Amino acid sequence: MDLSAITEKIDQVERYKHYGRIHRVVGLMVESKGPEASVGDVCYIHPSKLENEVVTAEVVGFQGENILLMPYKEMTDIKPGSLVEATRAPLSIKVGEGLIGSVLDATGKPMDGSEHPLGLTNFETEQSPPNPLSRPRIRAPIQIGVRAIDSLLTVGKGQRVGIFAGSGVGKSTLLGMIARNSSADINVIALIGERGREVREFLENDLGEEGLKRSIVVVATSDQPALLRQKGAYTATAISEYFREAGYDVNLMMDSVTRVAMAQREIGLATGEPPTTKGYTPSVFAMLPKLLERTGTSANGTITAFYTVLVDGDDLNEPVSDTVRGILDGHFILNRKIAEQGRYPALDVLGSVSRVMNQIVSPTHIEKANQLRSLLSTYEENKELIQIGAYKKGSSKNIDEAIKMQPEIDSFLSQDMNEKAPYETSVAELEELFL
């Protein structure tokens, strides 16, 4: 036994507890005189009644010599003079293979109230993105299990993709299909800012028992404090990083990054930041690249990430959408008009892009995908003329071909929620369209 390592750890243990006292509470913010702490450190607020639970809070800033704290939950029985205890450490979670199949809260604790399984490792939720030179290039495709994506918007292992859509267009259904059908080893799913009713629906209807068996779900519902919603995103990303460094190919699915940005806006406004673009604070646009760049490839494994973005009023150029699209390696757009026509997934193939597809698939695959895109584009450009009967058959060879192929293309792009579409089968079916 290495006693020197044990004695070194004992020497590092804090011998004294550091306390401060609450000075005032304003809105979401608790202001205290002391203790000595750094931004990001966790503190415990002790209520005046001993039978009440300790409130966990995090240092988010300073006001003069006072410390600004934001609690992880609602405050009860807190008054001026209540003790604030410093832990001198940031939030860490317990993570390991024993968590697979679990549903966790934003601080990494099981939501069903059970105890953590044995054999887990402590892991800090806030990590730095990997050094760019330590990231291997994306060289291999990963099976998504959605025919339209695997054939026309092929995703690589370690790619980061945004799924842009308005409300009710099928984001959750698409994430459920990816979680069940993907060839990744583990899914980490973050449900941030969801309605409480929708969590159970997603777990049972969209994800299903088969998907949950190889998934870890992190939940922070809309009724929870802003800091907890933000931490849900960091916790899910940290879990993904742990498994990536253990050599796994991980799928991280976050629904939605827009609500993470909204939570950061609430925190920023509460700490006194000025609102800028559409009310978002500068810290939102500093936080997004730091969070999104943590995923991707590393020397040991990969995190293939899917971030849903709520498009306000179907405006793809609103600030969060524009920022996220510039950071990620591709974007899939779900179109409301396609959904209204009854085609699912409602993927707008012409408006979507996978920035690494040309580097990871064969020349034949690229040629056939471009052929289908060309036919689809030709049909869309002349759709109104065709529908009102103003187009005369034989006027254009390209338009005639597009009209002839349209039923087959529609059938190819449609996929039932429970239908499985292996990557090789999807590519073969694409090539068969043009035989």
The DSSP annotation for 333-377 comes to: EB-HHHHHTT-SS-B-TTT-EETTHHHHS-HHHHHHHHHHHHHHH
For residue 234, give both structure tokens: 């960091």
pLDDT confidence band for 2 (50 / 70 / 90): low
pLDDT digits (tens, 9 = 90+) for 133-171: 989 999 999 999 999 999 999 999 999 999 998 877 888
For residue 144, give both structure tokens: 């998504």
Nearest to 285 by CA among 267, 302, 265: 265
Sign of CA dihedral 77, 79, 84, 90: positive
All residues at 6 or more sequence positions from 384 whose CB lies less than 8 Å from its CB, including other chains: none
Amino acid identity, position 113: G
pLDDT of residue 13: 61
- Mean pLDDT over 372-396 rounds to 85
pLDDT digits (tens, 9 = 90+) for 217-264: 999 998 888 999 999 999 999 999 999 999 999 999 998 899 999 999
- Mean pLDDT over 307-319 rounds to 80
How many percent of the chain have pLDDT more than 70? 95
Query: How high is the mean pLDDT of the chain?
Result: 88
pTM of the model: 0.90
pLDDT confidence band for 11 (50 / 70 / 90): low
Cα(17)–Cα(79) distance, integer angstroms: 21
Cα distances (Å, whole numbers) of residue 136 to 119, 130, 161, 296, 299: 30, 11, 18, 9, 6
> To which residue do tokens 């406004």 refer?
269
Nearest to 160 by CA among 8, 319, 307: 307
Domains in the chain and their CATH numbers? Answer: 12-89 (2.40.10.170), 93-361 (3.40.50.12240), 364-433 (1.20.1270.330)
- Mean pLDDT over 13-30 rounds to 81
Amino acid identity, position 218: V
pLDDT of residue 398: 87
